[in-house]
Each structure stands twice: as C-alpha cells, then as structure tokens.
Amino acid sequence: MNSAKKHYADGYLKATIDKRISYKTESQAPEQAAMLRTYLKDELETTLLRLGFICQIVDNPIEGKPPLLFAERHESDDSLTVLTYGHGDVVRGYDDQWSDNIDPWKLTVKGDKWYGRGTADNKGQHSINLAALEIVLKARDGHLGYNVKCLFETGEEIGSPGLRKYCELNSLQLKSDVFIASDGPRLSAGQPTIFLGSRGSVLFELTVNLRSGGLHSGNWGGLKRNPATILAGALASVVNHEGRILVKDLLPPAMSPSVKEALGKLSITDELMGLPIDTEWGEPSLSSAEKLLGWNTLEVLAFTAGNPANPVNAIPPHAKAFCQLRFVVGTRWQELEKILRTHLDQHGFACVDIKVQRGTAATRLDPDNAWVKWAEQSMKSAVGQDIAIMPNLGGTLPNDVFADVLGLPTLWIPHSYPGCAQHAADEHMLGSIADEGMQIMTSLFWDLGELHRDHLHTS
C-alpha cells in the first residue's frame, strides 16, 4: 500500500493523466478519428507492452467505427483470469465553455480538483487501474499470480458501436473468471463504492401527425384536433404529473431481498446529490435509493409542436415527444413498442405513432455473490471504511456485453463522484479520490494473486 501512496505522492499518476488527456480523442468529432487509434497505440499499447502484455489493435467489426485494443498477460492455465475494460474516447471538449480559461486538453490542478477532458471519464480512471497493476507486478517481482485480459474501446461516448459484436465474435479469447473495471461515479465523494451493473436505457419517440399544415386557430379552433393536446394526454396516460409510471407492464418485478437489503444501506440525500431532491416525485412507497437504483423511470426529454421560437395563431399539424425509459433487470423493455401500442389504443390514442430508437439492457450482479463479498473486504482493508454496494448504477454502461454476452460477474469500482461535471465543461476528478483509488486497486490486484480458481463461485 505504501507503494501506491508513493506513486501518487511523487506525481507519477498526475503526469500520466496530464499526458493522456492531451490526446483529443473526441469520438463525436469525425475529424479526430485518427487520434483514437493514436491514443491506443502511443499510450495504452506502450504501457501494456511494458507490463508484459501481448497487444493487438483491431478494427471495429462495424465498418467505419472506432478501433479497439485487446491485450493479454498470461501466466498459467491453472490461474484465475480477470478481464478489465476502459475507453479512450471522450466527449467534445467544448473548449470555450470552461471556467477561468482552463484548457480542457491540459491538466489543471486547483486544490483537490484535477481539471481536464477525460479526467473523470475515462482516462483518469483507467490510468489509476493500470498504475495499480504495475505496482503489484513490481512488488511481486514480475508475477501477478493470475492472468489479465484488457479490452479498450474508443467509441463509448457514441454508444459503443461494435463492442457487443466484437465480444460475440471473440468470446473464447475473452473468456475470464471475473470482470473488474472503473467508470461512472461513486455514490458520494467520501465513500468508496462498488456497483454491480447498470440500469438499462431505451429511447423512443411518440408522434401525432394529423395534417400537412397548420390551421388558423380562430377559424378552426373547436373543429379540428390539436396534435399537441392529444400527445400531452397520451403522455399523461403513461406517466403522471408526479412522475409515476402508469403502465403496469413497464414496471419491474419486485426487488429481491438481497437488492432491497443493499439499497436499504444507502442514503441518497440533498447533500450527496448537490441539489434538493423532489421527495414527492416518483413511486411514493420507495426510498430515494430505491427510486434511483431499484426502479424504473420514464422521462420526457423533449416535446415539440408548432414553432416555439416564433409561435403563431395556428393549430399545429403535428407534435412529437422524445422519451426515455430507464429500467432495471426484469423489465420487459424489448416489448416496449407492443406494450405502449396496446396501452395507447386502449386509452383512445390510436393516432399516436411509436418509434423505438435504440436500447441497452439492464444488468445486475446479486449483492450476495461471493465476488462482491471478496471485493468489499479487500477494499475495506485498504481504506479502513465501509464500502457502498450499489446493485446497479442509475445510469447506463455497456455492462450487458460483459454480463450477458461473456457471462461474467461484473465489479465496477469507480474513481469519480457525482459532482465531477462528466460530459460538461469543467470536468474534473478529485485528487483525494485518485489517491484512495490507487490504494483500493492495488489492494484488489494484490489480493487476486492470493486466490485460487476454485476459491470463489465464478459463474
């Protein structure tokens, strides 16, 4: 543990992150496509080769999409194998929006905050993990006592195109006993966290298209249907004014005892969230932790009708709502279109069209799983405090690829926190969390070497 503290205190981690965020790996910007491969080759491959990995930068199985890097360090056929993951791409820099003229492509330290695009998502996080792995290798004279496989993508910020297909095509190559990676935020800045999956997400559109053009509201009001009024009524039949989902088939099954117990130990407060919580919003029988992590929410992301920027006295010809269902394991999300169609037809909204855009499955490892107990104990021994166990993240990650396609128990140990400004200007990580993260990951990677393949249930 002293080596981890020294690595942080001597500035090695800070220097590494500074170098890595200088790569403008904006996957949303087509002009930066070459930079994505450059980051994989010049930064990650160089580091992994030094640590004894065999590396391969591979083209995305979907033509025209960003590349991936697979690396493997094999010590023994009889040893445990851990798969880890990260992504080298970032969202756009929004260079002119940062406070105090901070350059998003250069690490700027102000107190405990380390500013820069990718510090929290995800370069800072995977840099901590790789540094911890190197520390353990040196401490064990070049032997970990287990095998490691790494998979890095460069398209996470555009929906991870090709990741699932790559894993399906290479499932034997990626076969492992456990998945350990870092992304997303902790429950709070002050509490180390393990989350075991993520809520799923599906986007869909509801549209009412009645005619080709608007009609004068004085001449036609009361005689012609208003698409916006109809759509507002349709939405209100699906989710009410208190945020409760009214369509039974869009709700999840009852929470299992282990999930309910884990959520019962978590406190979601105004202070933790940084803004007052609307306690009357959502399912009234649930705690804030259960609403955020154990239940489904349906959000209207945008609603358009007519010309909001310059309204005229006309009944609009059409209206559209962009919606999102965030859901947990057990939800029949693949049947979303069918469920909504049946509901809307039964409630007199047959004229509302439905278009499901895309979705990502929900995943959740049981909090009682032996790997969770092992990781919790290792982390607790490193930092001397209780660990928050989140059955799943409130947001969405491509964890379904690792949990469902590869069939792995998944442990996410985040090194960020809710106030990190992820995806926004002034993105940052906290130096204190980075320091703690180094100790946590060094402990985990050390303790893995003490395990045998039959020590834990790995399926």
pLDDT at residue 273, as a whole number: 86
379 in a structural domain: yes
pLDDT band at 454 (very low <50, low <70, confident <90, very high): low
Mean pLDDT of 220-246: 98
Q: Is 129 helix (H, G, I), strand (E, B) or coil?
A: helix
For 414-435, what is the mean pLDDT?
A: 96
Shared domain for 188 and 209, answered yes or no, is: no
With 50 as the cut, is the pLDDT of residue 458 above it? no
Both tokens assigned to 166:
């790559």
Q: In this structure, is residue 382 part of a structural domain?
A: yes
Clarify whether residues 43 and 157 are in a common domain: yes
Quote the number of domains for the chain.
Answer: 2
For residues 43 and 101, membership in a common domain is answered with: yes
Same structural domain for residues 343 and 389?
no
Instruction: Determine what percent of the chain is predicted with pLDDT higher than 70.
Output: 98
Is a pLDDT exceeding 70 seen at residue 456? Answer: no
Res 455 pLDDT > 70: no
pLDDT above 50 (res 247): yes
Average pLDDT, integer, range 350-359: 95
Q: Are residues 110 and 237 in the same domain?
A: no
Residues 231, 351 share a domain: yes
For residue 113, the 8-state DSSP code is E
> What is the average per-residue pLDDT within 355-368?
95
Give the pLDDT score at 453: 61
- Assess contact for 122 and 183: CB atoms under 8 A: yes
> Per-residue pLDDT for 436 more than 80?
yes
Please give the residue range of the domain that contains residue 319: 200-252+296-360
Q: pTM of this prediction?
A: 0.92
- Whether residue 279 is contained in a domain is answered as no
Token look-up 């998979």 returns 151
Task: Report the CATH number at residue 223.
Answer: 3.30.70.360
Could you tell me if 332 and 429 lie in one domain? no
| Spatial distance between the Cα atoms of 413 and 157, rounded to a whole number of angstroms | 19
Helix pair 123-139, 2-9: axis angle to 10 deg: 130
Question: Last residue of a domain, which of 331, 360, 389?
Answer: 360
For the stretch 182-218, pLDDT in tens is 999 999 999 999 999 999 999 999 999 999 999 999 9
Q: What is the mean pLDDT of residues 165-180?
A: 98
Q: What is the per-residue pLDDT across 389-403, written as a single tens digit (0 to 9) for each?
A: 999 999 889 999 999
Span 65-69, average pLDDT: 98
For 120-167, the pLDDT digits (tens) are 999 999 999 999 999 999 999 999 999 999 999 999 999 999 999 999
Three-state secondary structure call for residue 418: coil
Name the band, by pLDDT with cuts 50, 70 and 90, for residue 274: confident
Q: Is the separation of the CB atoms in 321 and 231 below 8 Å?
A: yes
Average pLDDT estimate for 371-381: 97
Nearest alpha carbon to residue 16 among 104, 93, 129:
129
Output the pLDDT for position 459.
43
| Whether residue 424 sits in one domain with residue 383 | yes
Distance from C-alpha of 333 to C-alpha of 328, rounded to nearest angstrom: 9
